Amino acid sequence: MKRVLLIVGGGIAAYKACELIRLLRRAGHAVRCVLTDGGAQFVTAMTLAALSEDRVYTSLWDLKDESEMGHIQLSREADLLVVAPATADLLARMAAGQADDLATTVLLATDKPVLAAPAMNVRMWQHSATRRNVMRLRCDGVTILEPDEGAMACGEYGPGRLPEPAAIAAAIERALAPRSRPLAGRHALVTAGPTHEPIDPVRYLANRSSGKQGFAIAEALAALGARVTLVAGPVALSTPPRVDRHDVITAREMSDAVDRALPADVAVLVAAVADWRVEAVADKIKKAGAPPTLTLVENPDILATLARAPNRPRLLVGFAAETSEVLAHATAKRARKGVDWIVANDVSGEVMGSERNTVHLVNAAGVESWEELPKRMVATRLADRIAAALA
C-alpha cells in the first residue's frame, strides 16, 4: 500500500480525478486529496472525501489543520504527489516556486517525487510560456505526462486533454515502483567538464563546458545501481549522490585519473578535453614588449587511447560537440576514434552551460535523433540505453 497525495486543480477535467481516486483505491493505495479553489468550482470536497475515505484539505489558513496536520507533514507523509488536472496556472506557479495556496505550498515543501498530468486549452498548452514552465519543471525532476490529443471541452482540437484516468494510474504505478537497478555490480567511468591548460602560473586555456551533462549522466548511472567514478575538470557543480568524484585540472591529469579508474564496464567520456596545451609553462609572462607567441602541443586523446587499450571497457561512449555537419562529423569521429557510440550535439547555439540539449546517438545501427530534452532526461535515457546494452 502506497500513499498518494492527489492535488486536484481547477479545470473541467477535474471530474476525472474522481475516477482516478477509484482506480488508485482499487489498486490498494491510500489517497488523500488537496483541492484548490479552482478545483472546487468543478468537484466538491465532499465527493473527493467520499471516494478517498479521508478528509480533504483545501486551505492553507485552516488553523485546525496546522495543529493536527501541518502542510509540511501533509507533503511528506505521502509516497508520491500527483497533480491532476494540472492547469497552466498551477504549472506556472509550480515552476516559479510560489507558495500562495495549500497546493503550491505542499508542492514546494515536499521531499517526495511529483507527477503532474496537465489539462488545458490547446493554445495554452502550446504557448511558449507553458512550454518554458514544463521544461523548467522537468529540469527540476518533476514527471509531467503528455496530455492527450482530441476534441476539447472548449470546442478546439489538439493536445491538452487530461490523459485518461487509467493512463494516469499506470504512470503513478511506474513512479511508485521500486527503481530497478540493472547496473548493480557494474563499474561506470564518466569524464565531465572542461580542462584548464596553464599558460603561466596565473593564466590558462579553457573552454565553455559547464560539466552539467556529464554530471547528470554520472547521476543517472548511479541511480541504476552502477558504481560510478566521475573524473571532473574544473566545474562549479556539487557531486551527485553515490558518485565517487576525482577532480582534475589538465588533460594529462584527466588521462591519468581515467587510467587509475580502470577497469570499467562502460566509459562515457563527456569532458571537453583541451586538444592542446602550452608546450613550456614558465614564469608569469610580462606585458612589456611584443605579445607572446604560444607554442601548443597536442594533449593525449583520452577517448582514442582508451579505445585501443587492452583493458578497453566493453562499452565506450564518446561525445562530439560540433558546430556544422553534426552527423557527418560524428559518424566519422566514431570510426576514427574506434568507439561504440557517439552522442553528437550542435554547440553553435546556447547548449554550453544551458539546461537543455538536442542530441543524436550514433552507433553501428545508424543515427537516432532525440528531441530537445533537459540534460537530466538526456542522461536518464542514455543510462537506460547503456543498461540495456550491458544486460
Closest CA to 257 of 302, 297, 314: 302
Nearest approach in angstroms of CB 236 to ligand CTP is 19
Q: Please count the residues of this chain forming the interface with ligand CTP, following the rule CB under 6 A.
A: 15
Identified binder of ligand CTP from the candidate list 7, 31, 320, 351, rule CB under 6 A: 320
Phi, psi of 361 (to 5 degrees): -100, 115
Q: Is position 154 annotated as part of the catalytic site?
A: yes
Nearest approach in angstroms of CB 116 to ligand CTP is 35
Nearest approach in angstroms of CB 115 to ligand CTP is 34
Name the segment binding ligand CTP (CB under 6 A); options: 14-22, 234-242, 266-274, 282-290.
266-274
Name the segment binding ligand CTP (CB under 6 A); options: 157-165, 271-279, 350-358, 373-381.
271-279
Q: Which residues contact residue 161 at a Cβ distance below 8 angstroms, ignoring those fewer than 6 apart?
A: 13, 119, 147, 148, 149, 150, 152
Nearest approach in angstroms of CB 309 to ligand CTP is 12
Residue 301 near ligand CTP by CB under 6 A:
yes
Give me the count of residues in the chain: 391
Site for ligand CTP in 124-153 (CB under 6 A): none
Q: Which is nearer to ligand CTP, 298 or 368 (CB)?
A: 298
Closest CA to 75 of 10, 139, 133, 4: 4
Identified binder of ligand CTP from the candidate list 62, 140, 275, 384, rule CB under 6 A: 275
Site for ligand CTP in 192-251 (CB under 6 A): 251
Residue 36 near ligand CTP by CB under 6 A:
no
CA distances from 93 to 89, 101, 136, 137, 356 (A): 6, 10, 11, 10, 21
Identified binder of ligand CTP from the candidate list 273, 278, 307, 359, rule CB under 6 A: 273
Nearest approach in angstroms of CB 356 to ligand CTP is 19
Q: Which is nearer to ligand CTP, 140 or 301 (CB)?
A: 301
Nearest approach in angstroms of CB 273 to ligand CTP is 4
Residue 321 near ligand CTP by CB under 6 A:
yes
Identified binder of ligand CTP from the candidate list 115, 169, 271, 351, rule CB under 6 A: 271
Residue 316 near ligand CTP by CB under 6 A:
no
Contact positions vs ligand CTP (CB under 6 A):
191, 251, 269, 271, 273, 275, 299, 301-303, 318-321, 333
Active site residues per annotation: 154
